Amino acid sequence: MELTEAMRTTAAVRTFTDADVPDDVLTRILDNARFAPSGGNRQPWRVVVVKDEALRLALRDHYAAGWREYMAHVVAGLVPFAPSNDGRWSEPAVDLEKARATPSPNEFGDHLNEVPVMLVLLAHLPSLAVTDNGLDRQSIVGGGSVYPFSHNLLLAARQEGLGGVMTTVICRQEPAVKHLLGVPIEFAVAGLVALGHPTHQVTRLRRRPVSEFATIDRFGGPEFGDLP
């Protein structure tokens, strides 16, 4: 598949057929994804391929707890766990205990254990050059050495005729997930990637035009225009 087509048609896929993804195909996806860039080429990612049904069910339940917290924010008209306008996050904006006890149906999450491929993405924290550490705002830089790999996974899956999605909702239950999978203390849970054969392959995505997010010389400066 040509690169531009892959970039423009790799949608977030959350519904899959029952078709299996052979191990050799998944190996090829991981083999291609590993060429993602990272700070110092330290490649701080690790991947747990979750096949055991009991583990999958437990991860589904942990995901459900995080999803309920997420949706409690949405219902309240908030961006879930977003920092305030000063760039800092100090405390939950909703009652998290109440949120976790409130059912919130989610077709993807409720059947998470059934996805053909479940990958838990981990980040080796001592390998991350977090250059915005110490700034008086929420840190964001560390993920730059991990998430390009996750997007490479999705692009490589698209090349194989598959689809998928990366979700960070599972990170709300990081201590439980690390205990479940035997993850050492120096690693963080960066997300969960689900892959499989899509029930419907999206071939046309909608995104904001370049002129809405690119400006010249300064924030709020002249628009950097779109292609004709």
Q: Which of 2, 12, 3 is nearest to 205 (CA)?
A: 12
Q: Is residue 97 part of a domain?
A: yes
Tell me the CATH number at 44: 3.40.109.10
- Residue 228 is predicted with a pLDDT of 63
Spatial distance between the Cα atoms of 112 and 66, rounded to a whole number of angstroms: 13
Range of the structural domain that residue 93 is part of? 3-212
Spatial distance between the Cα atoms of 82 and 205, rounded to a whole number of angstroms: 25
Whole-prediction pTM? 0.94
Q: Is residue 220 part of a domain?
A: no
φ, ψ at 223 (rounded to 5°): -65, 140
What DSSP element (H or E) covers 4?
helix 3-9
**Domains in the chain, number:** 1
Q: Is residue 222 part of a domain?
A: no
- Mind listing the pLDDT tens digit for each residue in 93-133? 999 999 999 999 999 999 999 999 999 999 999 999 999 99
Q: Is residue 225 part of a domain?
A: no
Q: Is residue 226 part of a domain?
A: no
Q: Is residue 141 part of a domain?
A: yes
Spatial distance between the Cα atoms of 109 and 152, rounded to a whole number of angstroms: 23
Q: In the chain, at which residue ranges do the beta strands (DSSP E only) sit?
A: 45-49, 117-124, 163-167, 187-196
CA distances from 207 to 2, 11, 80, 201 (A): 20, 11, 21, 17
Q: Is residue 228 part of a domain?
A: no
Q: Is residue 103 part of a domain?
A: yes
Mean pLDDT, all residues of the chain: 95
Reply yes or no on whether the pLDDT at 13 is more than 80: yes
